[in-house]
Structure 1
Amino acid sequence: MINRVVLVGRLTKDPELRYTANGIAVATFTLAVNRPFSNQQGNREADFINIVVWRKQAENAANFLKKGSLAGVDGRIQTRSFDNNEGRRIFMTEVVAESVQFLEPRGSSQGGGQQYGNTPDQQSSGSGSGYGSPAGSQGSSNQSGGFGQSSSNDDPFAGEGKPIDIDDDDLPF
C-alpha cells in the first residue's frame, strides 16, 4: 500500500507547539495549498490542510515558521475520530509530516529557497542542504556538492543573453 503526500503551501497561522505527557514535541499548523485551476469567476481557490509534525521537526517548525511562511511537507495522510464534549463523533483527516522544508529565508514573506530544519536523514550527518541545491551548500558563493569546487559566477549556462549553440547530436534525448 502507498500513502504518500507532498505539499507546498503557506501557513495560515503560526504553528502551535505542545508536548505530550512523555515530553515529546508535537506541532500543528494549517497549510494553504493553491489549486492548479481557477473557478468560474477566474479566482484561484486553495485547500486548507491540517499538518501534524513530531519531535525535533516540530520544534524547528515552531521556531522558524510563522503565518505566511512558504513550506514544503512530505508525509502521509492519517484519519482519526473522537467524541467531542457534546458526544458527537468527529472525524479528522490530517497529514503527518515526516519532513518539513522551509522554502524561504527567515523573516522573508516571499522568494528564497533555504531549509532551516533538518530532515531525519540529515540529523545524523549534521548537514542541512538548501532546497534545490547540492548537498552541503547553503546558498554560499563557494559551493561544494561532490562535483568539485565552483563559484556561483562560473555557471557555464549563464550567457550574456545570447543563445547557446548545441548540436542536436549532443543532446541525450
Structure 2
Amino acid sequence: MINRVILVGRLTRDPELRYTPSGIAVTRFNVAVNRNYTNQHGEREADFINIVTWRNLAENCANYLHKGSLVGIDGRLQTGKYENQEGRMVYTTDVVAEDVRFLEPKSRNPESSGNFSGSSYGGSSGNRNGNRNKPMDDPFADDGQPIDISDDDLPF
C-alpha cells in the first residue's frame, strides 16, 4: 500500500501550535495549492489543504512559518471523523507532514515576521566559509526574493 502526498503551496494563515496532555507539540495550518489548469475566466483555482505536524517539526513550523510562507510538504493522507456538538458526524481529511521544506530565503530584515529558509529540522547551521551572511548550505541567503516555481519545474 502507498499513502504519499507531496505539495508545494503557501500558508493561508499562521500555524497554530498546541500541546497534547502528554506534552507533545502539534501544529496545524492550511496550505493553498494551485491547480494545474485555469477556469473559464483564465484564473487558476486553488485547493486549501489541512496540514498537521508533530513534535520538533511542529515547533519549527510554528516558530518560522507565517501566513504567505511558501513550503514544500512530504507526508501522508489521514482521514477521521467525530461527532460535533449538534450530534452530526463530521469527516476530516488532513495531510500529516513528515517533512516540511521552507522554500523562501530568510529575510534580511530582522524585524520581519519569521521568514526562514530551511527544512523540517530548522535550517542552516553550517557557516563553514566564514561569511555570516552566506552559509554554504543556504543557496538563497543573499537573494531576498521568493522562489518562482512553475508547475513545469516540479518532478511530479
The alignment status of 1:115 with 2:100, answered yes or no, reads no
C-alpha displacement of 1:36: 0.8
RMSD of Structure 2 on Structure 1 (CA): 2.6
Instruction: Please report how far the alpha carbon of residue 118 of structure 1 lies from its aligned counterpart in structure 2 after TM superposition.
Output: 1.4
**Equivalence map 1:99-110=2 (5 Å):** 99-107=99-107
Unaligned runs of 5+ in 1: 128-135, 142-173
Partner amino acid, structure 1, of 2:47: D
Aligned counterparts, 1:16-165, within 5 A: 16-107=16-107, 114-118=117-121, 137-139=137-139
More RCO (CA 8 Å, sep 6+): 2
- Match for 2:34: what amino acid? N
| Misfit runs of 4+, over 6 Å | none
C-alpha contact (below 8 Å) 2:32/2:46 kept by paired residues: yes
1:5 matched to 2:5 = yes
Contact 1:64 1:116 survives alignment (8 Å): no
Matched residue SS, 1:67: coil
- C-alpha contact (below 8 Å) 1:78/1:94 kept by paired residues: yes
CA offsets per residue over residues 109-138 of structure 1, 9 Å max, x none?
A: 9xx99315418xx9xxx87xxxxxxxx722
Gaps of 5+ in 2: 127-135, 142-156
Distance 2:140 2:83 in 1: 51
Give 1 or 2 for the bigger CA radius of gyration: 1
1:73 to 1:36, Cα distance in 2 relative to 1, 3 A: same
SS at 2:61 equivalent? helix
